[in-house]
Copies of this chain bind each other. A is one copy, B any other.
Amino acid sequence: MIRESTLTSSQLPLILCDIGNTSLHFFDGKRAYKESVDSFNEVIPDANVYYINVNPTLEHKLQERSNWINLKPCVNTEKYYEGMGIDRVMACEAVDHGIVIDAGSAITVDMMDHGVYCGGFICPGIRAMQLSYANISSRLNDSFNFELDLDRMPKNTQDSMSYGFLRLLYGEVMRHRKPITITGGDAALLHRLFAGATVDELLIFKGMKQMISRIASC
């Protein structure tokens, strides 16, 4: 359970932390920085660390620290779905209306309609797709062409595999005709495809902050 007192009354500085399987992504209100899971030290004095976590091996350690506050129990589970990644939920919390793309090891695409979550889908990330093609044939061991002509079926191998991944993703996202926000480690790459989109590397932190404010004001 979340500690109500911590959420509402503490005067300590606030740090946000998004924990993945290999790294912890921090935001102290001014600066975003990463730490490796391997070298991570959970002793952070004189601050409250609000976190989301998909890494089960770290959870026990964090629960022993009174200044680490898990935001997962604060999520309105009825709004989303059982088993939806907490990082996806937080990115959606930051967007009232539009498509949210989180491009990391997987690419998640979620749709918000005036505050209502409308569902979403998952593709393998850019690196995973590249590996998948390379494992099929050495001829497909190539990088993707992000300058691909989206209006024409390709007639060369690199564009054929780029189209089979990027054009299909582009087509599905664009057909919903909604504003697009991209976050995650590959946001800049995908931005080359979705030229009109907004890139926001702090989107998950924005969602976390909004959730904290909402709970604190209750």
The CA-CA distance from A124 to B134 in the complex, in Å, is 10
Instruction: Give chain B residues whose Cβ lies under 8 Å from the Cβ of A213.
Output: none
Pick the most buried of A106, A125, A137, A167: most chain B CB atoms within 10 A of its CB. Answer: A106
Give chain B residues whose Cβ lies under 8 Å from the Cβ of A109: 164
How many copies the complex holds: the figure is 2
Contact of A120 among B84, B118, B132, B153 (CB under 8 A): B153
Interface assignment of A172: CB less than 8 Å from any CB of chain B: yes
* Per-residue B-contact encoding for A125-163, CB less than 8 Å = 1, 0 else: 100110111011101100000000000111111001101
B contact residues around A81 at 8 Å (CB): 155-156
Q: Is A196 on the interface with B (CB-CB < 8 A)?
A: no
Q: When chains A and B are docked, how far (Å) is the Cα of A121 from the Cα of B169?
A: 13
Distance (Å) between the CB of A104 and the closest chain B CB? 9
Query: Is A105 a contact of B136 with CB atoms below 8 Å?
Result: yes
Q: Which residues of B contact A110 (CB under 8 A)?
A: 153
Provide the bound-state CA to CA distance between A131 and B124, in Å: 10
Binary contact track A20-46/B, C-beta < 8 Å → 1, others 0? 000000000000000000000000000
Cα–Cα, bound, A124→B128 (Å): 11
Across chains A and B, which 7 residue pairs bring their CB atoms closest together, nearest first? A119-B153, A168-B168, A121-B163, A123-B164, A121-B164, A81-B155, A132-B132
Interface residues of A (CB under 8 A from B): 80-84, 105-111, 117-125, 128-129, 131-133, 135-137, 139-140, 152-157, 160-161, 163-165, 167-169, 171-172, 175
